Structure 1
């Protein structure tokens, strides 16, 4: 058992192995991977799973959701904030760390059930002294401005003086391991102390937004404070508190670091410092143990909603839980100014930006499990509707065009140019052509309202989004006089390896559905929601003729298809490309790039990056008969290289729809283990957020076969794999907690939970 390596006091606090993700030996080559895997977040802040004493390589990043800056970079990106986790121990000037000492025992474990990171190391220094160091770290979910660390330090074969350095390091850079891309997004404006508290305040360079971090160090033996010679110092961009204490062989000293963070988004600038110190005082008064207990209680409630139990398949059961943990931990239930970035708050790749990933991969989970968080994500898009209008006008269109990459202000953050490792630049056309994100925003708002029954949002905020995005699409299409049809030319679909193309089926069909839906919604509002309809018309200067135009475009938009078959042509000319099929898979069951790609560009072939036509059928399955879905799945599945983590879950779900359960199970394993096994080799950059949502969808929409009918009633059509004895999960259905249990023979029960169970 994983817990067996830890001392009794930690062993008793830790959950069973099905909740623990473990690092069983120290390997510097895997540092960055485990920093991502062991990242913690409480919806407000995120910190990577760095070692307290520091090691190399490391990306010791702390983020606050919604704090962005541009400076010399191409885009606004999450600001790497002062690292408050630094805590170093010395005996006779010898730093006790995994890099400076002989490692006799080592294990770290992320407890998914309690969102706690545990560490156990037994070190022997150059003088033969052996020190047992165990630690506990958490970011409070009850009081999100509180972060805590507790270290149990035990000298095993010596007496001596333990010197302790606790610091807040403001010198951290974004992309600190990439010389070409390094950037400093903040400057220190204050480095000070108040009694036994150190304090560092920084200011973002563009918006001059202030962030204050405070920390307080304490140590106890048998309940008595033992720190001596305390000194707080300001060393440039580092605030440091030093102290020492006597340690005795076999006696454990408990060292605690209390941390608090506030920003100018939380309070007035002048109130940041007082707020930090007040929070620290309150944290200390309550105590580490009580705050941790309250934090765990919040997570206990969260898991009662979110947990998925797969009996009979231990590895996959834990892997699915791992993905859910990171997804649910990052989203905020109270702040509609923030979204969920493509790497959550666990890494800097993609700058913390929101993509279509949110609406199509993550939002379904929140809508069914945490509808209050889903509402915040929808309100984020509504808050930025004006920015989407400006974006459309800038690009020569009407209505509202949502950016491909969105940060805090709604402007397009996808860069026009990309720098290669050799310093060369190439033009990036993603934002120019990949417009389907605007359809995704509308689709997401519709599915949120359908899932939660939030009609108030549907007929007010969502209706505004619908009208403005419909206006965009009406201005985006072109009428082809020869075909007597509407087209969307120079566009990129989900398959980004072919850009731009004409009449991408995914984009065209989704626009067809969007315009048809908005037209019908307008008619419905006019007939039965008169007050909301009048308000919408007045606010947006809406004319009925617009809806008629939208209906006409919807009826006449061009959808390419292979003549004599039900197979859609991904885009015009796709079938003319060189046909290459995927025939080999690696040890992780991941497609191997065909040899021909060594002599031919992928753009010349029918090989695609990710689910495109198949993605469309996942979203709008009710539009297509089973044979159409089957033919398209079978055609495109053998041509998809899954160059994006977004892809495997979609093929798993759609495989189940056509009865291909063996491949579906393989796809789920690929997705669920993607980061845990570092299958794509880039977990170091952060957890793949869209994939985490896709994993949940695969289990719930795929293997459980969950769906809602037109009246909002639940339906199940299970496809249990032979490896599973039982599947159990919960959802919120129309405000009621509902527990679903499916047996291996596909029989199931649906039970409404009592209020006190949630």
Structure 2
């Protein structure tokens, strides 16, 4: 862990200047608004270690995969969300010396604050340059949530003696991705233009041919007389604003920026659209834009805040996670999705993984309007044909669909064979997300409109992927990688087989639902996908009924995969701290031969299908697998928290909660400089609502709650949406209060007892820490 940030309920605070922390802070203090994002790079020049990062949603480049060999079905490229032209830049020159904190003589009173209540990043410091000038600097910036093509920077300088200041606001298109496979730059700059106080730049991605326009307008306050010179070249558009400043005179530059992409505008209208955004922002002014921003975030927090009393670290952690989730994805555009790093870094290409369906969707189901999750599911539906083509490359036929492990346009672009070919459980997450959406919303119509076609393609894949073993007299699924990526090319991974079995059964159930409720649409679908219902569903039933699910009679646990007990059985607490995390210290060969588990695997399946298992079964499997889990995936602690709470192990649940909620703030895995773990942040929310809150929706479609509370907390409260009805749950050490904020009656099950709440009413019950469903 690396703990250098102050604990505060609503703010992330860094006090004291440390270049060693800079890249980590660039990630932690990142901003976004669903349409674009920006790492917390300094506005002024910085010559120290940095990951310059400006990102525009949906804009990507197919970077050629860098491998030394090739196999049939292997992806040709890794799609990457690009580091876009830098629009925040404001160089500052004082009497001939450039302001650069990395080179300055002294930096004092450095303070950086991310105000999560308003989505504003501010910074202040006092700096002495090598030429003897001392000045104080304050900056504020935000990406407008209400005008998602607008960014604003307010930058103030106060010198301690008379001096000449040159502000140089600019837009710079000479950028590169740190993760470029061949050190290639991904942008062509088509045009730059400047005028006094203004500038614009039109960029185009190579190969993928996206276009993005940037425009800026600036204003100066604190002085009336200044000189402006324009400067541009093929990749740069800027101004030099020269000011003669008096001692202790504060000069402020405000930079209004419009960022528009060809996803939302005609290419020939892009520059005009960006200029319009910048101009309208300047006319409104910083104060008005800031008030809009605060109001927007107040509305988000009113619906989605989680309040914890008595534990500042826990409170800061959950709000940090909720904040980044909401500024990463707003659900307004069905062409977009949630990348594991969001807008905070380049690792994983910024593209879509199974994380969205497994972790992101549970969060958005309970905190956002129904259309938000529907759009995430429509995103996958629109990629169905690509999923079928992906499966065809691997030899599957008849419309079998294998969704990619990593994608931005539906094509597989992951370049590690053990993931690309073998981590096929991602198909199951997409099918389960459809089921999860319907049981939380009642939107059965989604099956006939979109869902059934996806489920048929996935069922066809599983039925072909399974092989009948004459030795076992069972169907088996060979050569896979489960969620535990520290085991490759294994046979009969329990989680993979379990979710394959479920998919086959649910596809049959979905067929019956659509046939009964929408017979005309059912006929359209069967004709479109060439489904022989009786024959194919008979095969699916046979495979599902006879699928091998490994089990150890001696240990009385589900076996993670065939042969798992052949490994030396030692536990994670026997490892020396000097070799943790093991993925940074051990060879891959050693990891593969060990029993250590990267993240929840068997327990992931128990989490998804919990209603099938009694408490003792869950307890035995948890007691066996958790000690062998090194939690070196950000997606691991939340599932363990939920199951630990389920079996009444509050100490372990609380430990796992702190780990997931403060994973990035405290940099548990020494990798936050690469970007934040956005999708695991949804797991943090799950840890409270599904873990401590005991929220469940089983196959019967009824909402269940069974809250417990850690001893470290005085109280916690959360809000959820169910069938578009809003509830608030407050939990103390003594009682549970459930308040209805809905317009009609809500029914739910509390500690096994069904209750009803009239609109605006509440109910209180004693807390039952010993209840197990």
- Find 1:323's aligned residue among 321, 329, 332: 321
- Find 1:47's aligned residue among 22, 38, 47: 38
Match of 1:609 in 2: 598
Match of 2:55 in 1: 63
TM-score (norm 1): 0.92
> Cα deviations across residues 89-113 of structure 1 (Å, max 9, x unaligned)?
1121122332233112110000111
Distance across 2 between alignment mates of 1:597 and 1:344:
29
Match of 1:420 in 2: none
Contact preservation (8 Å) 1:120, 1:132: yes
Matches for 1:48-127 after TM superposition, within 5 Å: 48-55=39-46, 56-73=48-65, 74-101=77-104, 102-127=106-131
> Cα deviations across residues 91-139 of structure 1 (Å, max 9, x unaligned)?
2112233223311211000011111101111112234432111111000
Match of 1:390 in 2: 389
Distance across 2 between alignment mates of 1:451 and 1:194:
54
Contact preservation (8 Å) 1:71, 1:205: no
Distance across 1 between alignment mates of 2:308 and 2:483:
31
Change (3 A) 1:598 1:395: closer
Distance across 1 between alignment mates of 2:207 and 2:733:
57
- Find 2:149's aligned residue among 124, 145, 151: 145
Q: Secondary structure at the match of 2:729?
A: strand
Distance across 2 between alignment mates of 1:410 and 1:595:
31
> Cα deviations across residues 563-595 of structure 1 (Å, max 9, x unaligned)?
25531111111111121212258999x977599
Unaligned runs of 5+ in 2: 1-6, 66-76, 745-758, 761-773
Change (3 A) 1:596 1:639: farther
Matches for 1:60-459 after TM superposition, within 5 Å: 60-73=52-65, 74-101=77-104, 102-155=106-159, 157-175=160-178, 182-221=183-222, 226=224, 228-370=226-368, 371-398=370-397, 399-416=399-416, 428-459=417-448
**Does the alignment pair 1:527 with 2:513?**
no
- Find 2:463's aligned residue among 463, 467, 474: 474
Contact preservation (8 Å) 2:598, 2:630: yes
Distance across 1 between alignment mates of 2:709 and 2:247:
56
Match of 1:716 in 2: 705
- Find 2:20's aligned residue among 6, 23, 29: 29
**Does the alignment pair 1:547 with 2:528?**
no
Q: Secondary structure at the match of 1:163?
A: strand
- Displacement of 1:195: 5.0
Distance across 1 between alignment mates of 2:403 and 2:37:
25
Match of 1:660 in 2: 649
- Displacement of 1:250: 2.6
TM-score (norm 2): 0.90
Distance across 1 between alignment mates of 2:481 and 2:691:
27
Q: Secondary structure at the match of 1:18?
A: coil
Distance across 2 between alignment mates of 1:183 and 1:685:
20
Unaligned runs of 5+ in 1: 1-15, 417-427
- Displacement of 1:79: 1.1
Match of 1:11 in 2: none
- Displacement of 1:194: 4.4
Distance across 2 between alignment mates of 1:595 and 1:754:
53
Distance across 2 between alignment mates of 1:32 and 1:126:
24
Q: Secondary structure at the match of 2:550?
A: coil
Contact preservation (8 Å) 2:196, 2:229: no
Change (3 A) 1:83 1:731: same
Distance across 1 between alignment mates of 2:589 and 2:403:
32
> Cα deviations across residues 277-303 of structure 1 (Å, max 9, x unaligned)?
122211111112111211221111111
Contact preservation (8 Å) 1:582, 1:592: no
Matches for 1:485-500 after TM superposition, within 5 Å: 485-500=474-489
Distance across 1 between alignment mates of 2:80 and 2:426:
19
- Displacement of 1:228: 2.5
Contact preservation (8 Å) 2:8, 2:313: no
**Does the alignment pair 1:571 with 2:569?**
no
**Does the alignment pair 1:637 with 2:626?**
yes
Q: Secondary structure at the match of 1:601?
A: helix
**Does the alignment pair 1:627 with 2:616?**
yes
Distance across 1 between alignment mates of 2:448 and 2:733:
42
Contact preservation (8 Å) 2:729, 2:736: no
Match of 1:12 in 2: none
CA RMSD of aligned residues (A): 2.4
Contact preservation (8 Å) 1:582, 1:593: no
- Displacement of 1:754: 7.0
> Cα deviations across residues 35-71 of structure 1 (Å, max 9, x unaligned)?
0001101000011011111321111111111111024
In the comparison of the two structures, how many residue pairs are matched? 725
Change (3 A) 1:234 1:600: closer
Distance across 2 between alignment mates of 1:713 and 1:443:
17
Contact preservation (8 Å) 2:198, 2:217: yes
Change (3 A) 1:72 1:507: closer
Q: Secondary structure at the match of 2:628?
A: coil
- Displacement of 1:717: 0.8
- Which range moved further: 302-311 or 90-99? 90-99
- Displacement of 1:72: 4.2
